[in-house]
Structure 1
């Protein structure tokens, strides 16, 4: 939707005059935003309910620009389904829905997931959200879709299933049966010291299973540590299907001399018998471990569930703080947008693309901000900058109409033109729901990731992390 009138923001004016922007001002000690955050959660949960089909799967997106009840898209993915599961648990944990409703909704979704076709123990990347069939043509275009098994997307569905089983004991045997064959070594290429390029000790992006054997693999591995696929790594290390030293074979930065956004500083260290390049970048005078593209959800979606900052305060905790500060300063100081928060999202005019801060991503082309601010990025930043995030979201709502009381925040805003997306995406609304749950009831969605293999295997690994920042 377009605003009828587009105003120059107060933040941009202040920056042009050399003053400190509002969102960087010291917060009032008496400021309380708990009621507001709960209101935002309730609207976000309504959007997740609107995204969920009668079949029980959370669809990929809805168009909320018209009148009447929005219709969920035809397609859904494992990530979208996982988002629906944890949003339902969060809603019950916050008292937004009764426990009985949570149990009913979780059971409906688990029943739907049980009916989905799988291969090698994992779920395909695209299904019909209304009947569960595997998509072989794209709904809006008719273009062919080759069924694919994505490591990162399966990680988010497994995350949602673990949260559902933790919240509703009656589902635990059914979820255990679903996860029994989800062996993360399927995606793993063991480390080969004689040829670390062919054998990097990392996870494949995925497989097309329509070829004999394991199927046809992607040409790439997920090598960058500070990206959202590390959730799959943690799950595999926790359940024992991946060796713990897999963690040390991922890149903090690419190695010196390799083509990347900037030449990294740092040093080699040995951890658990692995020679690790502990590299870092410098952005606006601060050292940090970059993500792949410079987006918010690469760095900060995983810690919604795995308490990285608590288990690794001087490495992950410090890096999360600096990553958020870099996003804020890019939007308010470097680019002078007057707003901040950049992450993959719906293009305001339609479509989808990556947005980010180029300088804090390894990829040379980078994810550029392009003036497109994504509300979910501010929610992800709340553990590090809650007051600034709330101020930023208030500004997006007030200056652009990016929020409505029925379904919450729209997916993206071009703050240079005033164009607001017509869509809500399940992934982004799911991140908002999880982030708000963590603020309103800390630890609510983290319980399955603080016990068992996460405590016994993942926590000791994170405790040994020693970023060079």
Structure 2
């Protein structure tokens, strides 16, 4: 497999004291403390993305070993999308020349145009061979069967990147638009919605043939007439990375803006929902005739809308591209910094790890695991913050008694990409946290921060995932260029269709305790 080496060369220039040219866009906040760290981290992070990308196809692998020697033999639409916006970011930071960035993106777009897709929706399958672009039907490592799946959220991230490319590189707008315009997000949208919710919402995706696991056969929602096999679950929680697909469907006019009301802020209150991590407080509010339960959880005197698993990327990944804080003054503008504060408080105070930032990532002890703040997620058995999977179980007044309200936490696993997502909301805290992860824990290699580290044992997952590295690139790029990725992503149609619906939402998030500050 051939790979480009320009990022390695740039890193060598930095190491020998040479400088690179930074375009005017990156001078926003020039001289701000920490910019030098962010620039170095961006260069090294790009090195890993460069090393895992096939030169001939322009497709990144899903992962690469920490020594940048061995790449995985599969990729996904999310990985491809992340590579595209990372290439734009590398150009805007001066890591790549404009010509090289354009050539890279052109190669990737050309390959995307050849990939096998679902004809009735224009959507991409979830797994391809990065060296050939072939749709996978067996797993390269095990030989087990792959049941080709079309994922709502993965297609969302690829489509988001196509929007960025068409604005960031006008010479490629025709190619990017041809791909983007063929993707119909109404194929995922169930207008009847999930049980107990007032509006329609997205399914998790579909198969073209019945899979061995749970599915529900139905005509494709876009009216094409093709029968497909939808996931049994919906994406029915608000604080989820899957909302990127909802935003795109609304922006394209393919699904109604009322889809924002078709997801749970929390599960409803009461003992019938006692299985959720906390019993929420809140109130019902009505938007455009739809009654929505605006529930919140509480943590350390803060009230917030939780994610399903309590991880940082569920809450903050869409915020890399969508100006949620600006468009949601009574929702995301409060919820995002509170989410960051919850993770920080958990890592530094409650668990005493000394570090913070928890999201799904490579497991330092092998494989892949979901990490989060258990008490800050709706899922009853949690995304845990330590290797021991310490479960927090608190009282549900009037319903049940908790069995483990104040546990002793074990070997906490922090994930650097999660901390990077917090840059807009606690820059000083993020820089301190990441600097210590690098210097004290040594969780840093030739491609930037390793994917995770268990802080008490010092065990490091010496691996890079393209998804996590692309989140880091986006976060650094936004911090150094004044949110250029958001500028590329948003157009007038998106703002006109999406912003009014986001503006009226009121989550009830508060820094002062349970709902609306009432102790």
1:431 to partner: Cα distance:
0.2
1:220 aligns with 233
1:157 to partner: Cα distance:
0.6
* Contact 2:125–2:148 (8 Å) recurs in 1: yes
Name structure 1 gaps, 5 residues minimum: 1-29
1:10 aligns with none
1:72 to partner: Cα distance:
2.1
1:94 aligns with 93
CA gap 1:198/1:148 in 2 versus in 1, 3 angstroms: farther
* Deviations 1:218-263 (CA, angstroms, capped at 9, x unpaired): 1100000011000000000000001011111211111123231111
RMSD between aligned residues: 1.6
Q: Describe how 1:33-44 pairs up with structure 2 within 5 A.
A: 33-44=34-45
* Contact 2:198–2:261 (8 Å) recurs in 1: no
2:59 aligns with 57
* Deviations 1:76-135 (CA, angstroms, capped at 9, x unpaired): 000000010000000111111111111100000001111110002100011001100111
1:7 aligns with none
2:484 aligns with 444
Of 421, 426, 440, the match for 1:399: 440
2:262 aligns with 249
SS at match of 2:247: helix
- Determine the C-alpha separation between the residues in 2 that align with 1:269 and 1:184: 28
- Determine the C-alpha separation between the residues in 2 that align with 1:468 and 1:389: 26
1:317 to partner: Cα distance:
1.0
Of 204, 210, 234, the match for 2:247: 234
Name structure 2 gaps, 5 residues minimum: 1-30, 211-216, 218-225, 387-411, 510-519
1:131 aligns with 132
- Determine the C-alpha separation between the residues in 1 that align with 2:197 and 2:504: 27
Report how many aligned residue pairs link the two structures: 434
1:196 to partner: Cα distance:
4.1
- Determine the C-alpha separation between the residues in 2 that align with 1:358 and 1:457: 35
* Deviations 1:168-220 (CA, angstroms, capped at 9, x unpaired): 1122122222122311111111136xx94599511000101125834111110
1:340 aligns with 356
Q: TM-score, normalised by structure 2?
A: 0.81
1:8 aligns with none
SS at match of 1:105: helix
SS at match of 1:268: strand
Q: Mean alpha-carbon deviation: is it higher for 295-304 or for 459-468?
A: 459-468
2:278 aligns with 262
Q: Describe how 1:57-456 pairs up with structure 2 within 5 A.
A: 57-65=59-67, 69-119=68-118, 120-191=121-192, 196-197=195-196, 201-211=200-210, 213-257=226-270, 258=273, 259-370=275-386, 371-404=412-445, 406-456=446-496
Q: TM-score, normalised by structure 1?
A: 0.90
- Determine the C-alpha separation between the residues in 1 that align with 2:339 and 2:240: 12
* Contact 1:249–1:274 (8 Å) recurs in 2: no
* Contact 1:53–1:72 (8 Å) recurs in 2: no
- Determine the C-alpha separation between the residues in 1 that align with 2:333 and 2:380: 26
- Determine the C-alpha separation between the residues in 2 that align with 1:90 and 1:31: 19
- Determine the C-alpha separation between the residues in 2 that align with 1:232 and 1:31: 34
* Deviations 1:259-308 (CA, angstroms, capped at 9, x unpaired): 31111111111101111111111111110000110000000000000010
* Contact 1:125–1:147 (8 Å) recurs in 2: yes
* Contact 2:42–2:473 (8 Å) recurs in 1: yes
SS at match of 1:216: strand
* Contact 2:359–2:372 (8 Å) recurs in 1: yes
* Contact 2:82–2:157 (8 Å) recurs in 1: yes
* Contact 1:207–1:214 (8 Å) recurs in 2: no
Q: Mean alpha-carbon deviation: is it higher for 36-45 or for 166-175?
A: 166-175
Of 478, 497, 508, the match for 1:457: 497
- Determine the C-alpha separation between the residues in 1 that align with 2:286 and 2:456: 47
- Determine the C-alpha separation between the residues in 1 that align with 2:364 and 2:111: 32
- Determine the C-alpha separation between the residues in 2 that align with 1:81 and 1:353: 22
- Determine the C-alpha separation between the residues in 1 that align with 2:282 and 2:192: 23
1:137 to partner: Cα distance:
1.0
- Determine the C-alpha separation between the residues in 1 that align with 2:308 and 2:461: 25
CA gap 1:199/1:190 in 2 versus in 1, 3 angstroms: farther
